[in-house]
Amino acid sequence: PAGRGGVFKVMLLGESGVGKSALAGAFGGLQDDNAHEPENTEDTYERHIIVDKEEVTLVVYDIWEQGEAGSWLREHCLQTGDAFLIVFSVTDRRSFSRVPETLLRLRAGRPHHDLPIILVGNKSDLAWSREVSLEEGRHLAGMLSCKHIETSAALHHNTRELFEGAVRQIRLRRSRA
Ligand code: GDP
Ligand code: MG
């Protein structure tokens, strides 16, 4: 479908230091499936990728930390995103403990939407400093009714899968609408 249907906006949320910019950079490093020139700025990345044989324009925004809690910019993020990646670091329990609050605020701002939200446990490569287990991440996602994935932005492990998953979550909801 033309127009808005073909452009999906994905917002990276989460505490400082969890790897949002590294994930955005990994997305920016993906090859454009339709050979477009990459359109990147410092904090937004646009790619045309093929997911399940269908092309989509995905724009990833790494702007969450430019606003304070409750700021206009954060509200704008929450209101305009088509999907949300709530990132924590598996090596930082504090970042994990902040997830419910972020998610509840997100849902409170858009109460009539079934928002595509993925809980992302990043830095899975740092096995020795892990503070949050895979099971805890899964369990929290189950409690909060969202998806869950572990990634390593450093090793590009599961990063393509993460962004493809976001596309699938958006499509799934649109096909039901
Ligand atoms: P942001 O504040 O959420 O944007 O986090 P950054 O992307 O700036 O990452 C914070 C620090 O963690 C940087 O030093 C990154 O290199 C590092 N980092 C990010 N993702 C990973 C990862 O998956 N594995 C490892 N080992 N380090 C990571
Ligand atoms: Mg950053």
Say yes or no: CB of residue 152 within 6 Å of ligand 1: yes
C-beta separation of 122 from 100 below 8 A:
no
State the first-to-last Cα distance of the chain, in angstroms, to the nearest integer: 14
Q: What value of ipTM does the predicted structure carry?
A: 0.99
What 3-state DSSP class applies to 122? Answer: strand
What average pLDDT does this structure show over 119-132? 98
Q: What pLDDT digit, counting tens, does each position of 12-44 carry?
A: 999 999 999 999 999 988 777 777 776 777 799
Is the alpha carbon torsion for 29, 35, 41, 43 positive or negative? negative
Round the average pLDDT of the chain to a whole number and report it.
Answer: 92
Count of CB atoms situated within 10 Å of the CB of 94: 12
Q: Which atom of ligand 1 is nearest to the CA of 18?
A: 3
Å from CA of 21 to ligand 2 middle? 4
Say yes or no: CB of residue 123 within 6 Å of ligand 1: yes
Q: Report the distance separating Cα 138 and Cα 153, nearest Å.
A: 19
